[in-house]
Chain A
Amino acid sequence: MTVALSGEEIARQIEEHFPGSIVESSQDTVLVKSESLLKVAAFLKDTPNLDFDYLTSITAVDYYDYFEVIYQLTSLQHNHSLVVKTRCYGRDNPTLPSVVGLWRGADFQEREIYDLMGIRFEGHPNLKHIFLWDGFKGHPLRKDYL
């Protein structure tokens, strides 16, 4: 059974290396500032006792004031998991760094979020429509669509 690591404990470790990168943490999740997402993600992946080598999924939620993107990480080596969140503000051009460089599995899922939520992932090698067709107007999973 995969063990869900404590978000507070992981947040404390991250804060030691990258002060000021954590917004808040709870038993289940770690909320990271979007500017420091990439280095925190690299830290989670490369630290030997964490070793989050597998990205289970990425999803996004529209909270009107901001978009929250949720990364579910798993370590196949240690069989434990963690949920990392980050937020991006603004509805016109919300932008986050892409994690494709760390986890190749993020490729299609970031394209899906770009397609349906309209969040741009900077550094993504092929950021274009994946479900909808070229020329589709709008982002259907946003709360204010239609």
Chain B
Amino acid sequence: MAFVFRVMSTNYSKTELDKAEGRAVELLKERSQQPIPDPDKWLDEELKRNILLTSVDAMLNWSRRSSLWPVVCFPACCAFEFITTAASRFDISRFGMEIIRASPRQADLMITAGTLTWKMAPQVRRIYDQMPEPKWVIAMGACAISGGTFVQSYSVVPGYNRIIPVDVYIPGCPPRPEALLYGIGMLQKKISKRSIITEGRG
């Protein structure tokens, strides 16, 4: 528009005005033989490559089950099988859970590896309460399931499910790392069945 205004404001005769206008049009036409490319064209291509349509449930469950971060809760000997599972030979990081959190506030999975005494139970309950939702519990080994050998003892909690809700039970005394990995796989299947519609806490 500035270009046209400059031509019109010059004090020419009518013929010269027409010629000047014609030259401007010809010049613009000459410059405009090709369409200007869409500046957001790259965006379109990237989107075509990267967008998948899915449900919110599938997305949430996929991300949750693929990055389970366990909290430290290893009161007894099953901890050594867990350590083996986390180390290089069995390598728990294949499932996105190599970060063992020392703080329950950063964790969403409690693997209860060991015998629990009643004197220790309030602390375990507190650790569980400090974990953010959503959270899951794996009872690892006979002691965690039912108290195991010490089921009739005066000081042992007969199963972690007396104090916290347990999602998966892994038998064994202790369970081998393969069993623990299988149990984690079971938990992942369980998580993938969650739905934000049926569960209020989503």
Contact = CB atoms under 8 A, between A and B. Distances in A.
A136 B118 CA distance: 11
A132 interface: yes
Interface string B134-166: 000000000000000000001100000000000
Contacts of B119: 131-133
A133 B154 contact: no
A140 interface: yes
Chain A interface mostly helix, strand, loop or mixed? loop
Interface residues of A, number: 8
Contacts of B155: 131-132, 140
Q: Chain B binding site: helix, strand, loop or mixed by DSSP? A: loop
A133 B154 CA distance: 11
Interface string A108-137: 000000000000000000000001110010
A20 B176 CA distance: 61
Contacts of B118: 133
A132 B154 CA distance: 10
Nearest to B119: A133
Interface in A60-104: none
Interface string A39-57: 0000000000000000000
A140 B154 CA distance: 7
Interface string B100-126: 000000000000000000110000000
Name, among B118, B119, B154, B155, the residue most crowded by chain A CB atoms within 10 Å (CB to CB).
Answer: B154
Contacts of B154: 136, 138, 140, 145-146
A140 B153 CA distance: 9
B113 to A, nearest CB: 22
5 contacts: A132-B119, A132-B155, A133-B119, A138-B154, A146-B154
Given A132-B155, A136-B154, A138-B154, 9 more contacts: A131-B119, A131-B155, A132-B119, A133-B118, A133-B119, A140-B154, A140-B155, A145-B154, A146-B154
Interface of B: 118-119, 154-155
Interface of A: 131-133, 136, 138, 140, 145-146
Closest 10 CB pairs of A and B: A140-B154, A133-B119, A132-B155, A133-B118, A132-B119, A140-B155, A131-B119, A131-B155, A145-B154, A146-B154
